Amino acid sequence: MSRWSAHARNPVVRPGQLNPPYDSKLAGGACVIAVGDLLRLYYWGGGADGLNYICMAEAGAGNDQQWRGFGAVLSRQADNPFNSTGPAAPMVVPVTDKRWLMYVVGKGVMPRRGYLNDVILCAESTDAGWTWNYLGREPVIPRDRPYDQDGTASMFVMYEAGRFRMWYTAFQYRPAAEAAWMERVVHGRPPGRIPYLGIAYAESADGLTWSKPVAQLVVRPREDRVKPVEHWVAKPWIVRLAAADYRLWVCCIGTTYRIHALRSRDGVAWSWEQPAGEPDLNVGAPGAFDDAMVGYPCVLRIGDELHCWYTGNGYGAAGIGHVVRSL
């Protein structure tokens, strides 16, 4: 593959550009799907009211990135402690022509100061993604394994061979005294603990009730095998290029997000493209909207190219970028 080439107008979506006031403070966490001859964008909007929204926009399928906003399509569940401040990081899966599912990260009450409390919720559309309703209040992925006991978050879902497959961010807070390298962790660290995030795997017949056929994380942080130490692997996105060629992009943290790539023959056993830790997409030049963070990748194959939309500084406070590469 060629190297990624940045769009000349990056960021292609800025906070407040498409759907104010719902995205006035933040635009990030893109999910782009092809709908006929258009591209449909769902993204995490941070509103002027301090709440989270899922916003929607459309553009032509070329590379002009001229997006037109259609407002917020999903907002908070005010009385749900898992979602009282609203949803983030959407993943949309068309099931039939009209019935679509959207998975989101519910943001709500943090029962322990300094500890995230994210969960995965599901919403349904019966009009091809224009209007959405939550399917209940409870998380669709239970936090019932050691690796996801403290949270489930940003995910990728595909329907393949008669089943739904989900790769999701799973985390636990581990004692920092477990290993010497953990003392070097600085990001998101409450006293005496470190957040340890990796990618877990689940399957479902209906997209709502899930099982976990793999007993451990399918992608783990590389810990002290890379520099800086890596304790956070999150926000998976997969493109299947051939029958036995799955490509995965994740964002990893030693200090702040960079996007890294892996490959697999079956979607379960993964190998890093750059085991030594070189990112597939690095931060931008000093002063750029992405000079401190590139994360939340969304990769779509269009013809013989891969298009990637990603989140810049401040989890989208600086907007969404776009890069492209040839296969």
* Mean pLDDT for all residues in the chain: 96
Beta strands at 210-211 and 232-242: parallel, antiparallel or unpaired: unpaired
pLDDT (tens digit per residue) in 283-327: 999 999 999 999 999 999 999 999 999 999 999 999 999 999 999
- Confidence at residue 287, expressed as pLDDT on a 0 to 100 scale: 98
Q: How many CB atoms lie within 10 A of CB 175?
A: 10
Contact assessment for residue 46 and residue 16, using Cβ atoms and an 8 Å cutoff: no
CATH number for domain 5-326, candidates 3.30.1360.120, 3.40.50.720, 2.115.10.20, 3.20.20.10:
2.115.10.20
Would the pLDDT of 113 be above 80? no
| DSSP-assigned letters across all residues of 69-93 | EEEEEE---TT-TTTTTEEEEEEEE
- Confidence at residue 238, expressed as pLDDT on a 0 to 100 scale: 98
Q: Give CA–CA dist 96/115, Å, rounded.
A: 38
Q: How many CB atoms lie within 10 A of CB 158?
A: 16
Burial class (CB in 10 A: 0-12, 13-18, 19+), 52: buried
Domain boundaries, given as residue ranges, for the chain: 5-326
- What is the three-class DSSP state of 190? coil
pTM exceeding the 0.85 threshold for the entire prediction:
yes
